[in-house]
Structure 1
């Protein structure tokens, strides 16, 4: 029950905060206008580039699956978390932008469906991280490899000009991907050595 409540809080919180950070980072949205050009706007832009990326939403579902520990619970909380994150994102967008919620109905349904499908798989992947051996290694590599793949195929560059915020976001993602993959491989080899010795 705690993990289900945790997925509700994590999903709503992540979706709402992502929408708010996007609004704060934009000089074209009422919330972001007072911050335009400030250090706060630049920090919000970096956070926006990090939080509004596919790999970070995937990491949310994987993390909740890891907390769930079991595959079935991982599937449930992964899906629930991403569905609620999608709903919270668009509800917050409607509030922040002063747009009727019905305007976002299609996007909410589409992304909630995507959350159901991918969230359940990613939740299982998160639960599988706890397993020893190759399954645990592959599961632990999912988010770092996914983040690196997204950086190659679809880097966080909303426009052609490279800004300090974009460069910093890319450095953070690449660093986290390398550290995450290194941790996964180290854990795998340490477990193998310990099994051989024991």
Structure 2
């Protein structure tokens, strides 16, 4: 086998690995979100005035968290990071992360639609149950978010901003578009997300400062530049 053949086989294997990981994680997330939504509806007594105005359940809170925009964005970022952890070339990492992010959101949307169709006894084709906008959004937002995930491992300011993307975005969503069908659910959802976001931001910031301080104390040059 020639070197070119080995290289081609390696590239194909790498592409298959990215495809499998992105589709598996995305499909798992989408299916889990739909299932939790169904469970939360089973606990809901929407005919009760008291439950409607102040009732809640653990399943509903979990459903609220999983089916939020920041969680789906976090999926794309996480998959972008997952598939590029061992990639040295930054250009290759960005391209692979972007592709994986888009694929993950497409798979999540598809799995969500399939499980929703099965749960509701709806008619197939399952893809007709999702508006076209969600399929388009999966690509438009999934690609850049996946690229952000590929930057998580990078040192310096770029890596810091990439690691802060999800917690900051989650906190902002609680201000712009708070979740929940009543005040109790909304308050619980915002509190959980804000606390988790604050802890995450604090951890990321402290870790970044410690790494930078150690680097400066050792007289190490900035690692902002690297292999293309």
Same fold (TM over 0.5): yes
1:123 aligned partner? 146
RMSD of the TM alignment (CA)? Answer: 1.9
Would you say the 8 A contact 2:102–2:146 is kept in 1? yes
Offset from partner CA, 1:70-116 (integer Å, 9 cap, x none): 21111111110000000111111111111123475262532121111
Offset from partner CA, 1:147-186 (integer Å, 9 cap, x none): 011000101122xx323x4433322211111112112212
Matched, 1:92 2:115: yes
Unpaired segments ≥5 residues, structure 2: 1-15, 46-55, 85-92, 219-228
Question: Does the C-alpha gap of structure 1 residues 177 and 63 become closer, same or farther in structure 2, counting only changes over 3 Å?
Answer: same
Alpha-carbon distance in structure 1 between the residues aligned to 2:38 and 2:143: 29
Offset from partner CA, 1:22-61 (integer Å, 9 cap, x none): 11111xxxxx2xx456xxx812101110000000000111
Q: 2:133 aligns with which of 84, 94, 110?
A: 110
Q: TM-score, normalised by structure 1?
A: 0.86
Unpaired segments ≥5 residues, structure 1: 27-31
Length, aligned pairs only: 185
Q: TM-score, normalised by structure 2?
A: 0.75
Would you say the 8 A contact 1:8–1:81 is kept in 2? yes
1:1-198 to 2 correspondences below 5 Å: 1-26=16-41, 32=42, 35-36=43-44, 42-69=57-84, 70-102=93-125, 105=128, 107-158=130-181, 161-163=182-184, 165-198=185-218
